[in-house]
Amino acid sequence: MIYEHDRGMYVLTCDSCGADAEQLFDGFRDAVDWKKDGSNGWRSKLDDAGDWNDLCPDCVEQGPDASGEGDLLE
């Protein structure tokens, strides 16, 4: 999930384990773009309810069941 943390800065948090990305972002879109870059290991996963879950590199490595069922967005 991406949420506003403090003074307009945004945090990217793993929906599976709760780990935060190592940096803060100036805006929601900046966090999305960083995650979608792919070189940082973060991925988005669509769950059965149609909600997107953000997964950190460790949870991505654990495989498809790290955060419920769904498809990873590469």
Question: What does the chain look like in DSSP terms, one character per residue?
Answer: -EEEEETTEEEEB-TTT-PBPSS-BSSHHHHHHHHHH-TT--EEEE-TTS-EEEE-HHHHHT-TTBTBS-EEE-
Interval 22-67: pLDDT, tens:
999 999 999 999 998 888 999 998 989 999 999 999 999 887 554 4
Given this model, what pLDDT does residue 65 score?
54
Given this model, what pLDDT does residue 64 score?
59
Please give the tally of structural domains in the chain: 1
Identify which of 28, 68, 27, 22 has the alpha carbon closest to the alpha carbon of residue 41.
22
Domain span at residue 57 reads: 2-73
* More confident site: 43 or 71: 43
Query: What pTM, to 2 d.p., does this model score?
Result: 0.77
Asked whether the predicted pLDDT for residue 74 surpasses 50, the reply is no
